[in-house]
Each structure stands twice: as structure tokens, then as C-alpha cells.
């Protein structure tokens, strides 16, 4: 079984940056299959960043050009570099499988709040 632990969230002003980390452990099929999701109050959870089979980033239109997904295979860690942050990016961010059905047991996520 795979377990994901998210960290790196916090309070940041509009236009600022944060880097989120996702540490994976357990029986990992491929770190490439791990992506980032977010859920804002009153909204559905959505996939915002994932990897293609070639290892390139794939992004939701709302974050394209501002967020960058990367990984450290040796550390089984996936990162999300978040630049030019906007108030609408405020959400709880989670990592989980992105190539198929994600794990049913979601982690606690990490809160990102963008406010002046």
C-alpha cells in the first residue's frame, strides 16, 4: 500500500511563491503516476498537475504557466512549485495517484492560503 504525506503549505501574498512536497512510501508502482489535487471550500476536488508517460508536466488551464511539477526519484518525492500565486489558488492541496483511480485513503493535505 502507498502512503502520501503533503507538506509546505502556508500563507502567502498574491504574486508570491510556495513549494509543496509530497513524500511517498510503501509499494510504489511509479512515482510518475503521482499528481497534485486541490479542493477549495464549496468546490469539488480537482487535478491540477501530473506527469505524462514521458515525465513532462501536465497542468490544468487555471495553473498552466505558473505551477511546475517535478520529482526526486531517489527520495520518492514529488514537488509542486507554485509561482505568481492568486487568491483563487487558495485550497487544500493533496497528492495521490493521477493515472487511474486514486487511493481511497486520502491524506490530510496541506493548506495554501493566498491573501493580502
At 65-97, the pLDDT tens digits run 999 999 999 999 999 999 999 999 999 999 999
CB 83 within 8 A of CB 17: yes
CB 94 within 8 A of CB 45: yes
Return all residues near 52 (Cβ < 8 A) that are at least 6 apart: 58
CB 78 within 8 A of CB 24: yes
Take residue 50 and report the three cell numbers written for it.
501530473
What are the tens digits of pLDDT across the range 26-72?
A: 876 678 899 999 999 999 999 999 999 999 999 999 999 999 999 99
- pLDDT-based confidence at residue 103 (cuts at 50, 70, 90): confident
- pLDDT-based confidence at residue 98 (cuts at 50, 70, 90): very high
Angle at 2 between CA 83 and CA 97, to 5 degrees: 45
Amino acid at each position: 500500500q502507498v502512503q502520501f504525506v503533503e507538506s509546505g503549505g502556508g500563507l502567502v501574498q498574491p504574486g508570491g511563491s510556495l513549494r509543496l512536497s509530497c513524500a511517498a512510501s510503501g509499494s510504489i508502482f511509479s512515482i510518475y503516476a503521482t499528481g497534485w489535487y486541490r479542493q477549495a471550500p464549496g468546490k469539488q476536488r480537482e487535478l491540477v498537475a501530473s506527469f505524462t508517460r514521458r515525465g513532462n508536466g501536465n497542468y490544468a488551464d487555471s495553473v498552466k504557466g505558473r505551477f511546475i511539477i517535478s520529482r526526486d526519484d531517489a527520495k520518492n518525492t514529488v514537488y509542486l512549485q507554485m509561482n505568481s500565486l492568486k487568491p483563487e489558488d487558495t485550497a487544500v492541496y493533496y497528492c495521490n495517484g493521477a493515472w487511474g483511480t486514486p487511493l481511497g485513503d486520502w491524506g490530510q493535505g496541506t493548506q495554501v492560503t493566498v491573501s493580502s
